[in-house]
Structure 1
Amino acid sequence: MIYKLFMSVYKEYLLLKRDLGGVVILFIMPLFLIITVTLIQDNTFKTISDAKIPILLVDNDKGKVSKTVYENLSKSDIFSVVTKIDDETLTEIQARKAVFSGKYQLAIVIPKNLSLDLQNKIDQNVEKIVSSLGMTDTLAKKENSKIFDQKEVKLYFDPAVQMTFKNAVMSSIDKMISQIETHSIYTAFQDQLGENSASFEQKSFITFKEIVPKVNDREIIPNSVQHNVPAWTLFAIFFIVIPLSINIVKEKTQGTFVRLRTNPVSSLIVLGGKTVTYLIICMMQFYMMVAVAVFLFPHLGLPSLHIEGKLILTSIVALFSGFAAIGFGILLGTIAKTQEQSAPFGATATIILAAVGGVWVPVFAMPRVMQIIAQSSPMNWGLNAFYDVLLRNATFSAILPEIALLFLFFIGTITIALLYDKKKRAV
């Protein structure tokens, strides 16, 4: 039986050898993919970025608020502030046109008299509070309260920018304005109570501190490499579906499968040979990806993949992910009648599984319905297992459920393929 299995593996090797170009593509294209995507996404994981996003600032206020907004944005590691175009001070019309045409991603328009009206409104409100407490001259003539119109800070966004970018910018601007208002209120109270009154502590009382996992007293900070290497390695492993299904269809159309059936060899031996052969390819893909992430990425200005002490567990995850991909490929090759059916369907199905599984968009950012559907994607199981090992320092027992699901998927697809083939031959 071992000899038959070995010869079945050798037969798969000969098939692959006939198409060396296709085999090379299986290894080269995932490498280009992982390098390109990681380079593109690296800045989103960095706290300091060399490439700043230019934003337009139209200052109609010329006061304290606009000055503070300008200073805070200028200090930002993300934005560079543009107030002039062609040495001319920006107007709202120019800014809107530049943003809506796609030349800039964002324009901020500070309304006229924002600082003055804000200070007057705060002074008026503080004076009311102080008066109600009986801390002012009761004989003084009370002035009628003035009504101040609400001010709007206008934000113009390029229609092509993502909603996450919009929300982040609006939150940042809102925080800056709130800090200015708070500072102004404290200052107004201090002025009303007199110079001899105790000064207010204006430092933020509540602060935020991120607590991240530690290994050997060293913080493990997630980066683009830790997210992209597992995701796109899985994508590459599942792309094995295409050549595997095509080879099975070739065997059927060229009569090779019929000749195999005439020999004293069971279907399990034939499928075992395919499984072993393509598992070797999957693991070679995985180790090549890891080698690139560990040794090449630092030379490209990217973080190195920290895999010390985790190589065995990640190898196990890659192995069982390979099982799932091979099972899906065998099922597809068994059902498909022509290469024209198997190739496009395999490519499309792999992309759908990747999209649903969280390779492109995190599952938590999906609608509730898609989050439920994502739980059925084998790529989601493999991705969670990789993240558990690389980012959450999980043990083997913690990833056992995902590994079991991947292997059950393999068993299920192989069983369906065998039953379908048996039924088709019986007809």
Structure 2
Amino acid sequence: MLVTHETTEITLMPRGRPGAQRLWAYLALGTVSLINLISFMPKFPKPHEAAWGDALNYYRMSEQTGAAVDNPFALRMLSPWIIHRGNLLTGLSLDVLWVAFTFVVTLATVIVFFEFLRSYLKLQLFTSVLAAVALACTFWYAPYAFSNPWLVDPLNNLLYLLAIWFILNRKLIPFAIVIVLGAINKETTLLLAPLYPLIAWTRGRSFRDRDVLGGIGVFVVAAGIYVGYRIWAQNLIGGDYGFGAGQSNSGLLDNIRFALNAGKGTGQVELFTTFHFFWLIFGYGLYQQYRRHGLRAELLIASIWLFACCLAGRLVATDTARVFVMMAPLLIALVAVVLDQQRGEGRRLWVGALFFLYIAVNLRFVGGAAVFWVDAVALLIFAALVSFPATTRQAGFKGFNGFRPHQGRLDVEDDVKSS
């Protein structure tokens, strides 16, 4: 029996040319993002008066490059500098520029994520659009940034996503540029640098591999550039900021103690509510990757590394959700990979319901005890989908196929199988 991708999806192919499909997808994502911006943004004419937390420091830095604000915010200059230059060039107010910058960069991140799913992972249009909408509605990833639009987080999110894509696609030079820019925007981007040689090593199992050596070289160069940048920035500011130190330039150990003492007893809850039931679908996706490809599964390696980076970040930061939301692109991508395997009109309906429930809990359509029941219902739907296999025609397509040895990239075509 011969089963092909075309056989299983002939009635489900989206109509229209690929360019038109992308245009409509971009318009849909732009509409969703604009609605979220209108719903969450602070009120004008002086929205910066409602800023809180880190945003107060970044707004001050956009007024004056090299402003002597608290550590570690003072060295995160890229986003505030862009706003400062925009103010000098256009004469627009800092508030208008911050809101516009946050919106444009966040929308760009959502569109890049859609392209990552559609062009790189080769997921169907239906799943790619819904997953990108889910990212746009993940509270700590976009709506929170719209509610406090003076943060470096939006640009950090875009650079993280690009870095991950360049790692998986073996683009060393663009990866190096993104890491350097990301470190100037927020130093945690440096934590992604070792992931390039790690994944390169899993492909060839040799430390002499050109990609492994290149990745190590990028890590060394990026770290060196960042050290040089810190020296320059501290001379500009006129202060001495300790690496890894907390606010008021307290020591690293003091900062870790302060961060760990914050939110005692609620860390697990905050971690779960960052992505709700998507955590469990993500875990199932990791299990699938391991079963199919072992420890050579690149999405598995990248996810574990990023989770470890978030754990390290939580040691020196008090906001659990804002730290772990950096996993959103990989986590939602793996959720999309899993749900993309559910083919057929009936199953699409339930997949759409899962995405709707995720959006509902993130945008606070439901609250209190109802959130627990939404998570429970969603998990029951997902359990039913994976417990009752699809028909033979639908099962012929295996979905995302992960890493293939000696190709050096994630391949997605399942080729023709015979039985």
TM-score range relative to shorter protein: under 0.3
TM-score after normalising by structure 1 = 0.25
Q: Which has the higher helix share?
A: 2
TM-score after normalising by structure 2 = 0.25
Q: Which has the higher strand share?
A: 1
More relative contact order in 1 or in 2 (CA 8 Å, sep 6+)? 2
Larger radius of gyration: 1
